[in-house]
Amino acid sequence: MEFKKVVLLGGGVLGTQIALMSAYTGHDTTIWLRSEGSIGRTEPKIEYYTKAILQALEDAKKFVGNPLGAFVYPKALIRDWNNITVEGIDELIAQGEKNMKENLHLELDKEKALKDADIAIEAMAENTEEKIEFYKSIQDILDEKTILCTNSSTLLPSTFAEHTGRPEKYMALHFANSIWAHNTAECMGHEGTDPKVYEQVVAFAEDMNMVPIQLHKEQPSYVLNSLLVPLLDAGQNLWARGIADPETIDASWRIGTGAPVGPFQIMDVVGLKTVSNILNMKPDAKDPESVTYRLIEMIDEKIDKGELGVTSGKGFYDYSK
């Protein structure tokens, strides 16, 4: 199956990144948004991540001919590092800028956005009821051929399959933040996913310059977040209990492990609204005596001040300068 038209259902942090990489790799790509207000919030993200992608290519030039380049180059943007040249990167910059501008569209009309889509990727907030309601609203307007995927970070496709109207053509396709550099695409079906559809989604991920991470069965948080979430939970717990501030916790992790970023820097990239949504799904979220309850208060206080993370210019750190 050739994936000519790609639709992102939601223009958040990851939805925007996925859409841009889809456009970069030559796919006609549409982001469906709920309202004019959503367009106003998504357009700055498109501008921000377009610049980030082009800057990643520009930065890669200084590593051409350097053995370190093989470890740090933006793997989703440059298919063959071994044979790349500075001139070749300049060509990628020019073509990538053109593709991201010409192949990416915003659309408010749900039916128009989804018409003739080969694959639609839902990238909405981690809210079970809202996702179910949304899936029901698009059942009758999806084309027969359309494969429907969710980019949910924490929720299992089996939770939603029966509400999609096409359980055999539904599965999870989960991308990491900074998709152009961390180019994994976790592919996870449910028991009713057609194996041929699964193979087609794996092929689509490869077509987007991703490395498909193929799961053999459902796993909450997939592979990546099964490793990452305990780190974020530990950092949040230390902060909420007043053990240490976010900067100290991040520095401890960076220095002790050699990692480039710490848990709070990661949360800034993910976005604090997503962090809050995930915390609110925990069993003790409503218990005033719990650490989770305190954490939600602390995170929501930052959200109320407009400190949403990297995309708003400030989260745990100030990115405005």
Residues 65-81: pLDDT tens digits?
A: 988 888 889 999 999 99
Percent of the chain with pLDDT over 90: 87
Residues 228-245: pLDDT tens digits?
A: 889 999 999 999 999 999
Q: Which domain range does residue 293 map to?
A: 223-312
Considering the domain architecture, whether residues 155 and 23 belong to the same structural domain is answered as yes
269 pLDDT tier (thresholds 50, 70, 90): confident
Residue 285: per-residue pLDDT:
94
Residue 321 lies in a domain: no
Considering the domain architecture, whether residues 211 and 227 belong to the same structural domain is answered as no
278 pLDDT tier (thresholds 50, 70, 90): confident
Considering the domain architecture, whether residues 209 and 263 belong to the same structural domain is answered as no
Number of domains into which the chain is organized: 2
- Average pLDDT of every residue of the chain: 95
Considering the domain architecture, whether residues 242 and 278 belong to the same structural domain is answered as yes
pLDDT value at 58 more than 90: yes
Residue 317 lies in a domain: no
pLDDT value at 16 more than 80: yes
Residue 155 lies in a domain: yes
pLDDT value at 11 more than 90: yes
pLDDT value at 311 more than 80: no
Considering the domain architecture, whether residues 297 and 159 belong to the same structural domain is answered as no
Please report, for the domain that includes residue 241, its CATH number: 1.10.1040.10
pLDDT value at 227 more than 80: yes
pLDDT value at 212 more than 80: yes
Q: Which of 51-55, 57-61, 152-156, 212-216 has the lowest mean pLDDT?
A: 152-156
Residue 313: per-residue pLDDT:
87
pLDDT value at 271 more than 90: no
Residues whose CB falls within 8 Å of the CB of residue 8, separated by 6 or more in sequence, listed in order:
15, 16, 18, 19, 22, 29, 30, 31, 32, 120, 121, 123
Residues 282-301: pLDDT tens digits?
A: 999 999 999 999 999 999 99
Among 162, 186, 215, residue at a domain's last position: 215
Q: In 3D, which of 13, 242, 223, 7 has the Cα closest to residue 120? A: 7
Among 198, 215, 232, residue at a domain's last position: 215
Considering the domain architecture, whether residues 185 and 143 belong to the same structural domain is answered as yes
pLDDT value at 321 more than 80: no
Residue 222: per-residue pLDDT:
93
Residue 221: per-residue pLDDT:
87
The size of the chain, in residues, is: 321
Residues 121-162: pLDDT tens digits?
A: 999 988 999 999 999 999 999 999 999 999 998 899 999 999
Q: 194-203 as b/e, with b when 16 or more CB fall inside 10 Å?
A: beebbebbbe
Mean pLDDT of 151-174: 96
Please report, for the domain that includes residue 161, its CATH number: 3.40.50.720
pLDDT value at 196 more than 80: yes
pLDDT value at 310 more than 90: no
Considering the domain architecture, whether residues 192 and 244 belong to the same structural domain is answered as no
